[in-house]
């Protein structure tokens, strides 16, 4: 089984400064059709604030002509109140996502594997859906098949027991709950987006892949300690009986534009993050 992990397309109804990169990504996908695309969040530039961006993102992904499973990012449904007080995850934003992309957490059995999509943006919110997702996940991990997990925010940067990393990762308490659940299951891959960085590493026998953005990279506004390759691209995952091989792919025509020159237009203060 071969799937493509696409992430952080940031499709917008109003802003077109990264449109050429998204178009180059689409051209590559049409020429190299995968069995499935898994989108690891931030489909829209400002879907949490502008439903038109969610509509534009939904139309673009539907137009690829390939099955797409997606999980939401912070720019799609918001974040915790501590990180994004002006755009917290709430019932209205979840409903807006679900009305366009389906359930924000999901499972699909394909190619002898169980693929699981998680809504990372619920983690640490205290929203009732957070506990519903944890209960669902515990039951869904009860399988003899190897498991690949997809979510927007990475669980950590350097080590599983590290402290909070603010905006960049899942916070320690829900992270620990997830890792405890994964330890009792056949999880082989955890793939995330959010950092606009490509990285591939193994921790405690589980492969962690940080998927790059298809729209823009982050420059001096991002912590240098996050590491990884700051280049636009995609990730190809090829699954065999009990293992997965992952590789970075750079479609022709991508330009590594940085976000910083456009921040005041795209995300005016106080909605900067």
Q: Which residues contact 21 (CB under 8 A, 6 or more apart)?
A: 214, 215, 216, 232, 253, 254, 255, 257
* CA 52/CA 230 separation, integer angstroms: 29
The answer on pLDDT for 270 being more than 70 is no
For the segment 11-46, what is each residue's pLDDT rounded down to a tens digit?
999 998 999 999 999 999 999 999 999 999 999 999
Kindly tell me the sign of the dihedral angle through the C-alpha atoms of 253, 4, 120, 185: negative
Q: Is 135 exposed, middle or buried (0-12, 13-18, 19+ CB in 10 A)?
A: exposed
Cα–Cα distance for residue pair 87/79, rounded to 1 Å = 7
17 secondary structure, DSSP code: T
What pLDDT, in 10s, does the model give residues 184-206? 999 999 999 999 999 999 999 99
> Lowest-confidence range among 142-151, 155-164, 225-234?
225-234
- pTM summary value: 0.96
Query: Does 2-266 carry CATH code 3.30.420.40?
Result: no
The pLDDT score that the predictor gives to residue 24 is 98
Residue ranges of domains in the chain: 2-266
Residue 145 has pLDDT above 70, yes or no: yes
Handedness of CA 191, 197, 198, 204 (dihedral sign): negative
Q: What are the CA-CA distances from residue 178 to residues 122, 127, 138, 175, 188 (Å)?
A: 13, 17, 9, 5, 14
Q: What is the mean pLDDT of residues 214-236?
A: 89
Q: Which two tokens stand for residue 230?
A: 């700051």
- Residue predicted with more confidence, 229 or 172: 172
Q: What is the pLDDT of residues 61-113, one digit of tens each?
A: 999 999 999 999 999 999 999 999 999 999 999 999 999 999 999 999 999 99
The pLDDT score that the predictor gives to residue 272 is 46
The beta strand positions in 55-131, using DSSP E, are: 68-70, 106-110, 113-117
Tokens 């999901």 label which residue? 106
171/242: higher pLDDT: 171
Cα–Cα nearest to 41, from 74, 81, 68:
74
**How many percent of the chain have pLDDT more than 70?**
98
């Amino acid at each position: 089984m071969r799937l493509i992990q696409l992430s952080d397309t940031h499709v917008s109804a109003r802003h077109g400064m990264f449109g050429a990169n998204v178009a180059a990504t689409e051209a590559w996908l049409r020429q190299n059709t995968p069995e499935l695309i898994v989108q690891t969040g931030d489909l829209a530039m400002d879907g949490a604030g502008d439903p038109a961006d969610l509509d534009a993102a939904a139309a673009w992904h539907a137009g690829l002509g390939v099955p797409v499973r997606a999980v939401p990012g912070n720019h799609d449904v918001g974040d915790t109140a501590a990180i994004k007080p002006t755009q917290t995850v709430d019932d209205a934003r979840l409903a807006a996502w679900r009305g366009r992309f389906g359930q924000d957490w999901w499972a699909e059995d394909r190619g002898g594997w169980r693929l699981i999509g998680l809504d990372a943006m619920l983690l640490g919110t205290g929203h009732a859906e957070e506990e519903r997702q944890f209960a669902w996940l515990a039951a869904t991990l009860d399988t003899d098949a190897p498991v690949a997990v997809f979510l927007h925010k990475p669980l950590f940067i350097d080590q599983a027991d590290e402290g909070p990393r603010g905006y960049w990762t899942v916070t320690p308490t829900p992270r620990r709950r997830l890792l405890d659940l994964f330890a009792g299951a056949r999880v082989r891959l955890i793939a995330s987006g959010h950092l606009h960085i490509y990285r591939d590493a193994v921790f405690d026998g589980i492969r962690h892949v940080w998927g790059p953005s298809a729209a823009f990279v982050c420059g001096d506004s991002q912590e240098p300690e996050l590491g990884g390759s700051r280049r636009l691209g995609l990730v190809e995952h090829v699954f065999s009986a009990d293992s997965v091989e992952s590789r970075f792919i750079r479609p022709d025509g991508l330009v590594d534009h940085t976000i910083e020159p456009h921040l005041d237009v795209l995300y005016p203060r106080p909605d900067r993050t």
